Amino acid sequence: MTYFTHKGILFTTLGSSQKTLISVENDFQLLDDDVVTVTYPKSGTNWMLEILGLVLRGGDPSWVRSVPVWYRSPWIETDVGLKAALNYPPPRCLSSHLPFQLFPKSFLKSKTKVIYVMRNPKDVLISHYYFSKAFKGFKEPGTMEEFMETFLKGDVPYGSWFDHVRGWLEMKNKSNVFFFTYEELQHNPRGSVERLCQILGKDLNSQQIDSVLENASFQKMKDNNMSNFTLVPEGHFDHNIGKFMRKGISGDWKNHLTVAQNEYFDRVYQEKMQNVNVNLQWD
Ligand code: PPS
């Protein structure tokens, strides 16, 4: 596995290339009825995609159970994903881990809805650490101590968590950018699904919402081969080392970080997020 740097941000060569990144930023046309789920990696992307896939089909699980998530909602910055997105008829469901400055320029002239999902960065760190051990596109993370340093410096694919979240939060006054948190999906799943329905103009009844909630649960997604990444070939992901659907909880960082590591993380967080006037409550 190797990385390359594009405009100061690291990317993996497994599935992405400079050519695709340049094309997606400058040439790719987002359309008014596209819905794009945008996240920093390990923030709940696939969970939101499952919820979206169910909401868009009125709670019917047949789509999410028959089509792999990367075809339902291709990642536009990957070589395969961009090709798929270009061939899909509107309305398209798309995904991206891109920081705002590398996102398609056409977004600013469109009414495309962006659903931006954030997660407690300490849980992102832990999820990223385990994912990096199994995903062959990412570097072996080393010890947790070492990986925390790498993560806090932003020397990971898609760059710094802080820059990513800050960059997208600057779009908070745009009427077509909507923010969700992983923690909100956990603590208020029905309210979150109702808000998403409102955003998408989908009028689901109570039974349909029940079906969304049931089929997007951690256990149902863990059992769904179209969503649990077991279809990813061994050459890309070592299924003996890690599971994509790992724990699915908030606060797992408490089981991993020492008191000193946690305090250090908090100091870096305070420093990097000091000018962000948004109340981000993770716990
Ligand atoms: S990726 O690789 O960046 O696209 O990963 P992403 O989907 O953003 O994040 C993966 C984490 O989300 C958890 N997950 C869920 N949690 C709760 N409920 C549901 N339904 C769910 N689906 C996915 C997944 O387990 C990863 O978190 P960790 O902490 O590693 O378990």
Q: So what's the pLDDT on residue 283?
A: 62
Could you tell me which residues come within 8 angstroms of residue 272 by beta carbon, excluding any fewer than 6 positions away? 160, 162, 166
Instruction: Say yes or no: CB of residue 42 within 6 Å of ligand 1.
Output: yes
Average pLDDT over residues 161-182: 97
CA–CA separation, 184 vs 279, rounded Å? 13
Q: What residue owns the CA closest to ligand 1's atom 3?
A: 41
In a domain, 167, yes or no: yes
Q: What pairs with residue 35 in β-bridges?
A: 93, 113
Q: So what's the pLDDT on residue 212?
A: 98
Q: So what's the pLDDT on residue 62?
A: 98
Residue bearing the bigger pLDDT, 122 or 277: 122
What confidence tens digit (pLDDT) does each residue in 22-77 have? 999 999 999 999 999 999 999 999 999 999 999 999 999 999 999 999 999 999 99
Q: What residue owns the CA closest to ligand 1's atom 30?
A: 127
User: Quick one: pLDDT band at residue 110, thresholds 50, 70, 90?
Assistant: very high
In a domain, 283, yes or no: no
Q: What residue owns the CA closest to ligand 1's atom 17?
A: 248
Q: So what's the pLDDT on residue 277?
A: 85
Instruction: Say yes or no: CB of residue 187 within 6 Å of ligand 1.
Output: no
Q: Is the pTM of this model over 0.85?
A: yes
Which residue, 119, 233, 27, is CA-closest to 128? 119
Distances (CA, A) of 185 to 28, 45, 122, 209: 30, 12, 17, 14
Instruction: Say yes or no: CB of residue 122 within 6 Å of ligand 1.
Output: no
Instruction: Say yes or no: CB of residue 44 within 6 Å of ligand 1.
Output: yes
Return the CATH number at 193: 3.40.50.300
How many structural domains compose the chain? 1
For ligand 1, the distance from its centroid to the CA atom of residue 275, given in whole angstroms, is 28
In a domain, 282, yes or no: no
Average pLDDT over residues 229-243: 95
In a domain, 281, yes or no: no
Instruction: Say yes or no: CB of residue 117 within 6 Å of ligand 1.
Output: no
Average pLDDT over residues 221-244: 96
Confidence check: pLDDT of 1 > 80: no
Confidence check: pLDDT of 145 > 70: yes
In a domain, 278, yes or no: no
In a domain, 279, yes or no: no
Average pLDDT over residues 108-136: 97
Catalytic residues: 97
Confidence check: pLDDT of 274 > 80: yes
For ligand 1, the distance from its centroid to the CA atom of residue 228, given in whole angstroms, is 9
In a domain, 227, yes or no: yes
Confidence check: pLDDT of 281 > 90: no
Using the atom order of ligand 1, give the atom closest to the CA of residue 218: 20
Q: Is 177 in contact with 116 (CB distance < 8 Å)? A: yes
CA–CA separation, 165 vs 121, rounded Å? 10
* Residue-range definition of the domain harbouring residue 38: 3-273
Confidence check: pLDDT of 280 > 70: yes
CA–CA separation, 14 vs 80, rounded Å? 11
In a domain, 263, yes or no: yes
